[in-house]
Chain A
């Protein structure tokens, strides 16, 4: 029965070793996907390369389906699996700021670490910028504290919000993703940029 570490009081050393091993897999998968290239990531927003959409949604669906089945088979206690707390205002405003950072900087935090690992200099500056941004947030926290903690709605699930069973929502997400993959594949042909694809 999972999740293993919180249920079986695994030692801190083993816990950190597992963190490192999971990180290894995470970094390997990101790099193999091509998330170590800012122009490949940015291709998502201009249609010439929609790898981001394909990888991101395939990963989200794989894990979602895995959790649904594990729960169904009694392999995991979902009551102790962390569901992100929803603070409406800060989730939206934070997400908008991150989106601007994505299109300006060309990375997100995870992909910047993976890209820096293979020598991408733009990614190293992005990491430096991220640290500055976090420090800026920390130093000016009193200004944002109210917004950060406003509209706390708890660990809400999308399925409960919509009044749908988890399995049905899962099916809807899969159908929607396949639809987006289909549209995305067409976009890749229409907005093809041989010059960029050759370089990245």
Chain B
């Protein structure tokens, strides 16, 4: 059921849907959405598997260990598994399931891959320093009017705008 000329949902409608999901999360759990937290769980559990002693002695990893459940059986990990399946269902319904390396025709595939890895590494690093990413800090934070949410949102989007000129050849 591919829709021609209008393949994605109207963005305001999609935003409304996302907002309702976010609201449901607050109503049910008292917290908003998240994404980088689940990635952190993967890293913490990986490090702990390699050396449990080392992880327990680290000021960073130890914060997420020692609970009743393993770091892989947490709320955010299950939520992000849901994101994976939900995204897949949406892609299947709209006929968008396809292996594709998306990039500007002006750059090589190899360059796109390196940019994705470096960008991901920066985002991952920044999300730990800044206590959450676009989902958990910016979007969820703004919904509860937290100052942290607004500051993080402005820092993320402001920096991306400020640097856009220097990276334009990778995108346009």
Contacts and interface: CB of A to CB of B under 8 A. Distances in A.
Interface of A: 2-6, 12, 15-34, 36-40, 42-46, 48, 51, 54-64, 66-67, 70, 75-76, 80-88, 90-123, 125-138, 141-142, 144-145, 147-148, 153, 155-159, 161, 166, 169-170, 173, 193, 196, 200
A98 B133 contact: yes
Contacts of B12: 54-55, 58
Contacts of A42: 171
A87 B42 CA distance: 25
B163 A103 contact: yes
B123 A105 contact: yes
Contact of B104 (A30, A31, A39, A157): A39
Contacts of B126: 93-101, 133
Interface string B65-83: 0000100010110111111
Give the interface size bracket for B toward A. Answer: 35 or more
Contact of B83 (A23, A57, A84, A98): A23
Contacts of A86: 146-148, 151
Given A16-B75, A76-B27, A29 B17 contact: yes
Contact of A122 (B8, B113, B124): B113
Contacts of A66: 19-20, 23, 26-27
Contact of B156 (A3, A102, A104, A136): A102
